[in-house]
């Protein structure tokens, strides 16, 4: 039996993707200071200079699982380790994401934003459902965006291979919307099992990383660098979405004003059908 499972069987554990940078890092640090354990599913290591996370790793309260999330082979291996190590998950924060500067495709051949921000969160939920059922809060929060406020057309069947690319308000915005749409479509049925799925808009945060090329148009990049709030604001909004006044809601998108009515809700079922097909016909073959 894994020693972490034996040592911490009753701990409240949150699993956070993208936990070592930006909003995810701030959320990780906050939960650790509140007494939570965190299972971090990340691509690269935590900084050894951060006292909170470094100390939590030494103590076993922060457990790190590494994978390039858009590579299904790596993702499957990481999930197998999580399933073998963790005894329960109280909250799953599907937080990993980002805006790319040009059109890219995953190892499976789908547009990268779609794979990372729409498909992978669904896979993680499906694979971690049993651990969530053993957890105390049984809550899933997906990090969405308000970028799709500018979306004028949306086709669920074009997300995997878009005909054109546009920074921020193109694939990035569409796939954030798609994640919120499948959440809305899936949530009522999952609530019958006691699991509550929601998505949350963290608002404008300065998440620019040094040495990494931004996928933002120049005006937005400028505004982010000098005027946007620090990522602790976004972490606070995700925290509120999980534990705040809407903690009994299922399927909703929450922003700073409250519950948001989703655009293109008539395509929610189709988005869900597409990600379910990918999960069933591709990913499950690797587990």
- Domain spans of the chain, in order of start: 9-286
Specify the pLDDT at position 7: 37
* Rounded-to-integer distance, Cα 240 and Cα 254, Å: 9
**What is the end-to-end Cα distance of the chain in Å, rounded?**
20
Is residue 142 within 8 Å of residue 179, measured between CB atoms? yes
CATH code 3.40.640.10 for 9-286: no
Instruction: State the Cα angle at 8 between 7 and 9, rounded to 5°.
Output: 110
Spatial separation of the C-alpha atoms in residues 143 and 103, rounded to whole Å: 21
Six token digits for residue 273: 């059908």
Region of poorest pLDDT, from 10-19, 37-46, 152-161, 240-249: 10-19
Q: pLDDT per residue over 46-81, tens digit each?
A: 999 999 999 999 999 999 999 999 999 999 999 999
Determine the Cα–Cα distance for residues 274 and 205; give it in Å rounded to an integer.
30
| pLDDT band, very low/low/confident/very high, at 167 (cuts 50, 70, 90) | confident
φ/ψ of 73, rounded to 5, equals -65, -45
- pLDDT tens string 247-280: 999 999 999 999 999 999 999 999 999 999 999 9
Beta bridge pairs of residue 94: 142
Query: Model confidence over 103-145: pLDDT tens digits?
Result: 999 999 999 999 999 999 999 999 999 999 999 899 999 999 9
SS in 3 state form for 150-195?
HCCCCCHHHCCCCCCCCCCCCHHHHHHHHHHHHHHHHHHHHHCCCC
């Amino acid at each position: 039996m894994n020693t972490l499972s034996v040592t911490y069987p009753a701990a409240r554990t949150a699993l956070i993707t993208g936990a070592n940078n930006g909003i995810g890092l701030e959320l990780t640090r906050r939960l650790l200071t509140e007494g939570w354990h965190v299972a971090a599913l990340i691509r690269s290591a935590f900084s050894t200079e951060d006292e909170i996370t470094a100390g939590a790793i030494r103590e076993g309260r922060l457990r790190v699982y590494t994978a390039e999330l858009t590579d299904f082979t790596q993702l499957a291996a990481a999930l197998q380790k999580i399933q073998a190590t963790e005894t329960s998950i109280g909250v799953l924060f599907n937080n990993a994401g980002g805006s790319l500067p040009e059109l890219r495709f995953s190892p499976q051949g789908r547009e990268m934003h779609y794979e990372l921000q729409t498909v992978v969160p669904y896979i993680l939920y499906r694979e971690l459902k049993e651990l969530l059922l053993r957890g105390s809060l049984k809550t899933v929060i997906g990090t969405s965006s308000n970028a799709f406020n500018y979306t004028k057309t949306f086709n669920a069947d074009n997300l995997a291979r878009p005909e054109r690319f546009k920074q921020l308000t193109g694939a990035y915005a569409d796939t954030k919307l798609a994640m919120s749409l499948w959440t809305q479509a899936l949530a009522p049925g999952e609530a019958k099992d006691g699991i509550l799925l929601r998505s949350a808009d963290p608002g404008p945060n300065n998440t620019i990383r040094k040495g990494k090329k931004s996928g933002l148009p120049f005006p937005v990049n400028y505004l982010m660098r000098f005027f946007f709030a620090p990522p602790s604001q976004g972490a606070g909004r995700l925290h509120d979405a999980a534990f705040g006044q809407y903690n009994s809601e299922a399927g909703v998108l929450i922003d700073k004003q409250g519950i948001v009515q989703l655009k293109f809700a008539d395509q929610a079922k189709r988005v869900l059908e597409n990600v379910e097909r990918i999960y069933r016909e591709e990913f499950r073959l690797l587990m």
